[in-house]
Every structure is written in C-alpha cells, then in structure tokens.
Amino acid sequence: MPIAASVKLGRGVSIPQPDLVNLYGCEIGDETKIGAFVEIQQGAVVGARCKVSSHTFVCDGVTIEDEVFVGHGVMFINDPHPRATTAGRLQTASDWQVVPTRVCRGASIGSGAVVLCGVTIGAGALIGAGAVVTRDVPPGATVVGVPARPVRPAGAP
C-alpha cells in the first residue's frame, strides 16, 4: 500500500495520485499537497500548507516546516558517508546514524536540487534549480550552483 497506516496525515492533505506515492511512518501537516512519485520516509516531517512536487525524495531526519515549496525531483540525503557494506557485510540501520536537516518556514527549493544532511535552510530562503546545498542557507538568502553559493544575501532587495 503506497500510503502506510503509520502515516499521520493532517486535515485537508491533498494527494491526487495516492497509488503513485510511497509514504510510511512520516507526518504530513494540514493542507499540504503531495505530488506523484514522491517518497517520504519514516521519521520525516512535512509541515502545513507545503507543496512537495513529483519525483521528490524526503528521507528520515528531514523536517520541513510550514509553507515550504519543494520542486520536482528534489533529493534530501541523511548520511554524510554512505556505504553499502561495513567490514564486508551489508550495512543495517545500526551501522549508521541519521544526520538531521531542517527547511524553515516559507523556504523554496527549486527542481532538481540536492540537500545534503546536517544543513538548515533558513526561513524564506530560495534554493535555485539544480543547486547542491552543502552548508546552511541564511533566512531570506538566494543560493544557486554546485555547491550552492549566495547570489542574493539575506535582506537584499
């Protein structure tokens, strides 16, 4: 079942194509819209009145506050040193620790962006399409590129 019983859905959540999502153990706030081909993992939180566009991956450890826009194909990462094996055996959940990431209220993340773990994207910040966010983004700043760099500092017109 694409939407597991363990998902906490807020009031008025819109998932127009529920057979085309993979949601489990996560929390989705009131009036949020989730697009097709989105995966939101256990432990992830998406706030109220957000839009999570198609083909996006939100992993464990990610907190998205209210009124955030997440473009198409955005990828969040929760492990700074991913490996398949440890000492020659496949890794299990006990072999790594989730590094939390926060997207603050009203931020916007452009299509195709990648957000590495351990960063905070400040309130009202704008992440350009295709950017790779490797460090914190101040509230209100606009960042673009690989790695993401400011093109408009916080508070600039």
Catalytic annotation present for 81: yes
Catalytic residue among 5, 11, 19, 81: 81
Could you give the CA distance from residue 38 to residue 88 in angstroms, rounded to a whole number? 32
Please give the C-alpha separations between residue 29 and each of 50, 113, 119, 129, 130, in angstroms, as whole numbers.
8, 22, 22, 25, 26
As a dihedral over the C-alpha atoms of residue 131, residue 134, residue 136, residue 140, rounded to 10 degrees, the angle is -10
The residues annotated as belonging to the active site are 81
